[in-house]
């Protein structure tokens, strides 16, 4: 296993000094078959990485490379399709889903990457501020933060705008003696501008089949020619993808909870995501995000911190910190608002909905209550119905509130003591059916009459057209009055 230089890239005011190009690509992917993973570490602790089926990733933490680096690396220029670092560049545009990814210039000397996760907070790697590998912050708040949302340097936050840097209390330095707990939270003095995307922290389950979207401002190159010296940049961010197919490991406390994820860099002949998609990491991408797509929205899955093997060539490894292993630390400093959620029923644009419509949405993590809003305009300014304090993820609109044959717009807001989140699909519409259309097929006919007669005398809700709690002659009268009618 090779050793590389520190995960952040040393820079001068004018340019960056990137990591040296690694060995020849012919050395890539050396087999470790037959290497027996130790059951205990050198200090006598149990090796919680132990997995006899995968010896490559089961070396004790003390044998991992010193201060490894992330870079977004392209595939081979001759692969199908051909790839290059220039093809991995992400536009500095608000239309990019990665536009909120931030560049850090630390102490006027080092470059890293970070992710905004709340109005005044970003997450990055601990070793980015640890110059001496002793687990302490050597730079205080001397961090310049650059966002390139609407072109180069569209938003720059100078060190005076940084309120605090919180280093995980268990972080003792990179690979000193392990690579766990390598996470920091950066607090700002003021809220970020509204055009900068905030990426919620992922709180879901782990799967080696997850597709991670990695972004960084660091050194680049490709799997054939190695690194390109001087390619790290304040303004050029690159993107690629990989799977955590090497699994989850490094439970240094013995709690049973994995703290690191790891992937390999596959070439186009051995699987993976494709020559123009698969990536690994390098210098300056440290602290950058591995995003996961949840319901069409990106969440922060991991903090990129290390590479291993013959980086950056095919067969090498990379990985980072699993943020959901550090939620206690994150939530201690960041008062989280409810998580991402979506409206689910009725589907956006649904027709023939009963006026006593049943609304449903995903439950948002950390939500205490929900507020439903229904209006007759897409801007939700002319509100016709609102209900606050809902504790479940569904709600039935009372009968008599909504009109028949009318299009309405609705949304849900999740609320807790720290703030609120609006459903990610924001506003959906539905169109109500005519009263008496019990089977919502668009017309009041004999099928509806038969259904009401079958429910007659019961408490509803089916057949209780006027919502008085009983299916009776009043409901029958409404159905007969609209018999043969439709919304057309």
- Domain ranges for the chain: 9-333, 343-432, 446-481
CB-CB contact of 113 with 68 (8 Å): no
Closest CA to 219 of 284, 304, 306: 284
Distance from the first to the final alpha carbon of the chain: 72
Q: And the tokens for 115? A: 């992710």
Please check whether the domain covering 9-333 is classified as CATH 1.20.120.1200: no
Q: And the tokens for 385? A: 């119905």
Compute how many other C-beta atoms are within 10 angstroms of the C-beta atom of residue 472: 18
Question: Across the beta sheet with 394-396, what order do the strands follow?
Answer: 343-345, 358-361, 394-396
Closest CA to 138 of 118, 161, 117, 109: 109
Closest CA to 113 of 239, 212, 293: 239
In a 3-state reduction of DSSP, which class is residue 203?
coil
pLDDT of residue 468: 79
CA–CA separation, 445 and 484 (whole Å): 6
Closest CA to 117 of 296, 336, 378: 336
User: Do 343-432 and 9-333 fall under one CATH topology?
Assistant: no
Mean pLDDT of residues grouped by 10 in the chain (488 residues)? 29 20 22 34 40 36 34 76 90 95 90 92 94 90 95 95 96 86 95 93 89 90 81 88 86 78 85 86 81 90 86 84 93 85 92 88 91 94 96 91 92 88 88 88 91 91 82 92 87
pLDDT of residue 466: 79
pLDDT of residue 339: 82
CB-CB contact of 253 with 272 (8 Å): no
pLDDT of residue 111: 87
pLDDT of residue 8: 33
CA–CA separation, 30 and 193 (whole Å): 47
DSSP assigned state of 46: B
pLDDT of residue 3: 24
Strand partners, 157: 145
Length of the chain: 488
**HSE-CB of 152 using CA atoms within 13 angstroms:** 4
343-432 CATH:
2.60.40.10
CB burial of 429-462 (b: ≥16 within 10 Å; e: otherwise) equals ebbbbbbbbbbeeebbbeebbebbeebeeeebbe
CB-CB contact of 358 with 394 (8 Å): yes
């Amino acid at each position: 296993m090779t050793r590389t230089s520190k995960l952040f890239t040393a820079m001068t005011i004018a340019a960056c000094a990137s990591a040296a190009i690694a060995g020849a690509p012919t050395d890539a992917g050396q087999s470790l078959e037959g290497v027996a993973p130790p059951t205990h570490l050198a200090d006598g602790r149990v090796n919680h990485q132990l997995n006899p089926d995968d010896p490559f990733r089961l070396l004790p933490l003390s044998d991992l490379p010193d201060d490894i680096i992330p870079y977004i690396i392209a595939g081979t220029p001759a692969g199908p399709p051909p790839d290059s670092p220039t093809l991995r560049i992400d536009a500095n545009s608000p239309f990019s889903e990665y536009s909120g990814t931030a560049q850090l210039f630390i102490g006027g000397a080092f470059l890293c990457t970070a992710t905004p996760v709340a109005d005044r907070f970003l997450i990055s790697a601990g070793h980015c501020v640890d110059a001496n590998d002793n687990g302490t912050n050597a730079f205080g708040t001397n961090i310049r933060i650059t966002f390139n949302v609407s072109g180069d340097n569209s938003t720059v936050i100078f060190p005076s705008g940084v309120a605090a840097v919180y280093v995980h209390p268990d972080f003792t330095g990179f690979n000193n003696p392990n690579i766990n707990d390598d996470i920091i939270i950066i607090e700002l003095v003021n809220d970020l501008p509204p055009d900068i995307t905030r990426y919620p922290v992922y709180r879901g389950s782990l799967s080696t089949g997850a597709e991670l979207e990695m972004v960084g401002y660091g050194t680049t190159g490709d799997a054939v020619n190695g690194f390109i010296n001087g390619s790290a940049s304040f303004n050029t961010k690159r993107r690629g993808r990989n799977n955590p197919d090497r699994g989850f490991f490094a439970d240094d406390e013995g709690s049973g909870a994995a703290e690191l994820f790891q992937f390999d860099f596959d070439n186009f002949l051995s699987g993976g995501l494709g020559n123009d998609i698969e990536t690994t990491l390098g210098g300056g991408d440290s602290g950058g995000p591995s995003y996961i797509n949840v319901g069409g929205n990106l969440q922060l899955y991991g903090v990129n911190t290390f590479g291993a093997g013959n980086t950056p060539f095919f067969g090498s490894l990379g990985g980072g910190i699993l943020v959901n292993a550090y939620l206690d630390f994150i939530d201690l400093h960041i008062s989280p608002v409810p998580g991402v959620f979506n409206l689910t029923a009725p589907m956006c644009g649904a027709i023939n909905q009963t006026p006593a419509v049943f609304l449903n949405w995903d439950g948002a993590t950390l939500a205490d209550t929900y507020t439903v809003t229904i209006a007759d305009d897409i801007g939700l300014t002319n509100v016709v119905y609102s209900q606050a304090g809902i504790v479940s993820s569904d709600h039935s609109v009372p009968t008599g509130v909504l009109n028949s044959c009318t299009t309405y717009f609705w949304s849900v807001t999740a609320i807790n003591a720290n703030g609120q989140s609006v459903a990610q699909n924001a506003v959906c519409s539905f169109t109500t059916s005519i009263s008496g259309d019990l089977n919502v097929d668009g017309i009041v006919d004999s099928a509806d009459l038969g259904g009401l007669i079958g429910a007659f005398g019961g408490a509803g809700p089916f057949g209780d057209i006027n919502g008085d709690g009983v299916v009776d002659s009043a409901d029958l009268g409404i159905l007969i009055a609209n018999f043969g009618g439709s919304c057309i």
